[in-house]
Structure 1
């Protein structure tokens, strides 16, 4: 089975515009996005068939990943053609920081290694957002190290800005492990330029970390153009589950999307109980019935 790490080494971008009025979820173009990590095994085997199935289920935007100059083993032109063929847009893509090394070698196509080419490739496929997706354990460390990460993100964000692209950072729960009474996430917010580095908020990980998304929006208005719609089941295990099948109050959170600055949303389910396509079907059915 493909791991998150290997997926992030072979993945690209997209999803759903939201303009929110009180108690009304009026998507600008009714985009409902899927983070393709949810169907990573299928993407690894047959990207064309997988994207066709994702579109058939009803998604019209995707967020994926990039590695070694490729989107799922395809160059930008080939991958863009597949998206167009299936009526899909791709506004956002996931990338690695690149500080971690494997057998002493740093991965290419990351923020710290080959970023100029990654940004050029992103511009060619029309990405609006490039997202630092995940920090490996060796890339986390102390608050001082997070300050270095923030500096790296600022520099990467400058490169993105020149290409007309916005850099973002995607959270998990490890950014909410306190050190000296402070969260690493606070460092990332405070020490990055809010114009150069925005955030992709993952609602499952915020919930697991016992953080309030709405309070975070209020403290940092306009900083969250991307959201991951990811639910948590109501068990002691706090497992991933389909959107609407758990405890995350998506309606309440999305009612503050305007304050947050949300532009696109993506369904993501890291682990599915069975066929991932069954899970993403359940999620989009709930979204269409209750959130759009």
Structure 2
């Protein structure tokens, strides 16, 4: 496996987020003619964060026209920024807005603070939106987080997960590259898997960690039943982002292992310029 510092990957992730192409600047021809496979496939709204709050209808329609039927939100209250205008919309109305675009929104990302300090209101918001999954997007520990910090945060998420489960939903955790680095000689993600309750907190796997030498299929096979969803991105051998099917990931292996592991939803999280080619590839699988 390739080992690099957490500082490097935190900095790299920030640069990648800042490099996301503005959807409104892309030619409509880029999105024409592609359809998705029968399997419902979604997108993470983070990649269109600068557009969705300004032009929700136009942004979702463009993606719906491609065939995307699922959207994963980012909490307007916790994320702010481009999502902030959507915080003024009642969740029941937001649900209708997705429906009007031919989409369903079964999942949303939240920060750990929302799931600890403001959990009751976040549960009510999520229920009204019709969510199935409330996913912790990050523990927010940065480069100074210790292994104990990660395990303590995992305990907090377990407690939140218990309350979320009683409300009829499922808590989840979304990994980044930082969880696939080591502290005290131990892989953070593996130690978290020992601490997190497999019934109360399911995992959302981000395939970007292929750049560190870790394959999603390995963990789908190792931990069946502990995953609810995955974020899709493909990468070249030079660690450059590429449309699904144009990089190094074995997607047939990925989807077969994901199905066996119980993965329910898949969300593309890449630059919008990759959406069409990714859709066309997935269709022919």
Secondary structure of the 2:138 match is coil
The structural deviation recorded for 1:138 is: 3.8
**Aligned counterpart, 1:225:** 228
**Aligned counterpart, 1:169:** 173
Secondary structure of the 1:133 match is strand
257 and 39 in structure 1: CA distance in 2 versus 1, 3 angstrom threshold: same
Of residues 31, 51, 61, the one that matches 1:52 is 61
65 and 285 in structure 1: CA distance in 2 versus 1, 3 angstrom threshold: same
**Aligned counterpart, 1:10:** none
The structural deviation recorded for 1:212 is: 3.0
Secondary structure of the 2:203 match is strand
What is the TM-score when the length of structure 1 is the normalising length?
0.78
Return the alpha-carbon distance in structure 2 between the equivalents of residues 71 and 193 of structure 1. Answer: 35
CA-based RMSD:
2.4
Number of residue-to-residue matches in the alignment: 249
**Aligned counterpart, 1:180:** 184
Secondary structure of the 2:117 match is coil
**Aligned counterpart, 2:276:** 281
Return the alpha-carbon distance in structure 1 between the equivalents of residues 204 and 262 of structure 2. Answer: 11
The structural deviation recorded for 1:166 is: 0.5
Further displaced range: 136-145 or 218-227: 136-145
The answer to whether the Cα contact below 8 Å between 1:51 and 1:82 also exists between their aligned partners in 2 is no
Of residues 74, 86, 98, the one that matches 1:72 is 86
Q: Describe how 1:130-149 pairs up with structure 2 within 5 A.
A: 130-138=134-142, 141-149=145-153
Return the alpha-carbon distance in structure 2 between the equivalents of residues 199 and 255 of structure 1. Answer: 17
Aligned: 1:126 with 2:130: yes
Segments of 5+ residues of structure 1 without an aligned counterpart are: 8-26, 99-109
Return the alpha-carbon distance in structure 1 between the equivalents of residues 93 and 153 of structure 2. Answer: 33
**Aligned counterpart, 2:116:** 112
Return the alpha-carbon distance in structure 2 between the equivalents of residues 72 and 249 of structure 1. Answer: 37
The structural deviation recorded for 1:113 is: 2.5
Map Cα deviations across residues 110-154 of structure 1 (whole Å, 9 max, x no partner).
112211111111111111101111233448611111111111110
The answer to whether the Cα contact below 8 Å between 1:151 and 1:192 also exists between their aligned partners in 2 is yes
115 and 158 in structure 1: CA distance in 2 versus 1, 3 angstrom threshold: same
The answer to whether the Cα contact below 8 Å between 1:62 and 1:266 also exists between their aligned partners in 2 is yes
Return the alpha-carbon distance in structure 1 between the equivalents of residues 206 and 77 of structure 2. Answer: 25
Return the alpha-carbon distance in structure 2 between the equivalents of residues 165 and 31 of structure 1. Answer: 20
The structural deviation recorded for 1:162 is: 1.1
The structural deviation recorded for 1:189 is: 0.7
What is the TM-score when the length of structure 2 is the normalising length?
0.80
Segments of 5+ residues of structure 2 without an aligned counterpart are: 1-14, 21-36, 79-83
Return the alpha-carbon distance in structure 2 between the equivalents of residues 152 and 228 of structure 1. Answer: 24
Aligned: 1:200 with 2:204: yes
Map Cα deviations across residues 46-66 of structure 1 (whole Å, 9 max, x no partner).
112111111111111111211
Secondary structure of the 1:195 match is coil
The answer to whether the Cα contact below 8 Å between 2:70 and 2:105 also exists between their aligned partners in 1 is yes
Return the alpha-carbon distance in structure 2 between the equivalents of residues 4 and 123 of structure 1. Answer: 29
Give structure 1 regions of 4+ aligned residues with deviation exceeding 4 angstroms.
2-5
Secondary structure of the 1:127 match is coil
Which has a greater percent of helix? 2
